[in-house]
Structure 1
Amino acid sequence: MAQTLIRTETDARGVARLTLTRRDKHNALSAEMMTELQAAAAALARARDVRVVVLAAEGRSFCAGGDLRWMQAQRDMDTATRRIESARIAQVLGALAALPQPLIGRIHGNAFGGGVGLAAVCDVAIGAAGAKMGLTETRLGLIPANIGPYVVARMGAARAREVFMSSRIFDAEEAVRLNLLARVVAPEALDDAIEAEVAPYLSCAPGAVADAKRLLGDIAGRVSEADVAHAVDALAARWETEEAAEGVSAFFDKRSPRWAG
């Protein structure tokens, strides 16, 4: 399948850059984009010449979350079909989380919803000062379900409680405190910071790095298939509510939902 919404490049050192290129839509995750991301992750996992993966994006935003047109189309699906379709984000995050190589996130701009999920599955994510983040689903009458297991695994339950339900927007500095970002640097220093994160791996044995990452997952615990399935079911149920219909409709009508103060 031709990649049109992402780009994958690998340099002579074995550093792969996986870039979201849907800049005109703030890299919102459409069905096509998620299909490409999952396929790219699978290919990178098999690539023996790839030692480190950098997850990046073009344009003003890192990732605006799930594409709202894609989400709107789910309203007209039956429950079973909607469950399959909405699970795409969880599948993409699972594929990225399972990469044997270290995954370094270059969070240069705003990340909302699914964009926070992408940052959460990185082994290390570095943000640019000025970037905003947020789990904004409840504003639409939805819940951060499919990304939830990965976000909570990254943040921990206590930190997640601060932002998981409120749709509150927070800055990159707070994202460090919330454990979503490792650190924040000036935008002009971001590439140097990413390079400094990548460089140590190039002096390590690639197989040992992969085994160490696998062992870390064994010790710390991975997101389970049961957790992911539960989250997918929770979102499918939420789609059946009047609030979900109202929230998504209000967004496209460019008006406030009934519950907004």
Structure 2
Amino acid sequence: MTEPYVKKEVHQGIASVEFFHPQSNSLPSATLQQLAHTITQLAADPKVLVIVLKSAGEKAFCAGASFEELTAIKTEKEGLHFFSGFAHVINALRKCHQLVIGRIHGKCVGGGVGIAAAVDYAIAVEGADVKLSELAVGIGPFVVGPAVERKIGLSAFSQLAIDAGSWRNSDWAKRKGLFAEVHPTVESMDESIAKLSNTLSHSSPEAMLEMKKVFWKGTEHWDELLIERAKISGRLVLSEFTKNAIAKFKAKS
């Protein structure tokens, strides 16, 4: 399979949402839109009791924004539209009634860190290192910032955002609270995800919804906030600095 996709399946109350892109599971607008739509659809299904969010392949969990699409942005309106995609996915995860488990099987960059932060319980494997690389290309983690800061605190978020060229390992991510668990193998990670999702599928939906409301208290304004943040990124992506930085980055890869 080389075409990007988002697919879902539901089995005994457990919904699985998987996304894929051949370029390290990066996220173009169409995939972001599909992802937000799929999560919103599942949220409205009373048969769905818990959601597991994952990506395909064995390497990166998510490389963040699609560089192909970033370089094609010509106006602030196009920039806003693209970065709003991340806002819609984060808000879909925030507002869905079910608890969402994230399967973090590999490295997370930029928007990928934001998605890992926006799930309710992230289960990772060793080697699932994280990096907020946005400043290196003249932008900044504006849209995903609130989700990351909410999980790991302002100090750890600012460290990631400022030192944009460096990876933090999965142990760092666990110590800071981004990952709930880090497993030595993919097999033990998947075993833990299966066990927890099964337990949650037999738990009280009403109690889980009330818990989720408590966990996300204080984020009710994110529908507006994340779009405001998307405007900042949409403006910065048009700068000469960013265009040159992305061109250099693409030439290396």
| Fold match (TM-score > 0.5) | yes
**Cα deviation per residue 1:214-239 (whole Å; 9 max; x = unaligned)?**
23323x54562343133112212322
Unaligned runs of 5+ in 1: 256-261
Pick one of 140, 146, 150 that aligns with 1:149. 146
TM-score normalized with structure 2 length: 0.91
User: In terms of mean alpha carbon deviation, does 141-150 or 103-112 score higher?
Assistant: 141-150
Contact 1:112 1:133 in 2 (8 A): yes
**Cα deviation per residue 1:46-89 (whole Å; 9 max; x = unaligned)?**
11100000011111221111111011111xx2222321222111
Contact 2:110 2:132 in 1 (8 A): yes
Tell me which residue corresponds to 2:48.
Answer: 50
Pick one of 77, 80, 96 that aligns with 2:77. 80
Unaligned runs of 5+ in 2: none
Q: Which amino acid aligns with 1:25?
A: Q
Tell me which residue corresponds to 1:138.
Answer: 135
Pick one of 93, 96, 116 that aligns with 2:93. 96
Distance change (3 Å), C-alpha of 1:57 and 1:229: closer
Aligned residues: 248
Contact 1:153 1:223 in 2 (8 A): no
User: In terms of mean alpha carbon deviation, does 128-137 or 79-88 score higher?
Assistant: 79-88
Query: What secondary structure sits across from 1:50 in the alignment?
Result: coil
- The list of structure 1 runs, each at least 4 consecutive aligned residues, that deviate by more than 4 angstroms after superposition, is 220-223
Q: C-alpha distance in 1, partners of 2:29/2:78?
A: 14
**Per-residue deviation at 1:158?**
1.6
Tell me which residue corresponds to 2:250.
Answer: 252
Q: C-alpha distance in 2, partners of 1:95/1:114?
A: 15
Tell me which residue corresponds to 2:167.
Answer: 169
**Per-residue deviation at 1:250?**
1.3
Q: Which amino acid aligns with 1:154?
A: K
Contact 1:150 1:223 in 2 (8 A): no
1:160 matches 2:154: no
Contact 2:125 2:189 in 1 (8 A): yes
1:111 matches 2:108: yes
Tell me which residue corresponds to 1:32.
Answer: 30
What percent identity do the matched residue pairs reach? 25
1:203 matches 2:202: yes
Q: C-alpha distance in 2, partners of 1:237/1:32?
A: 20
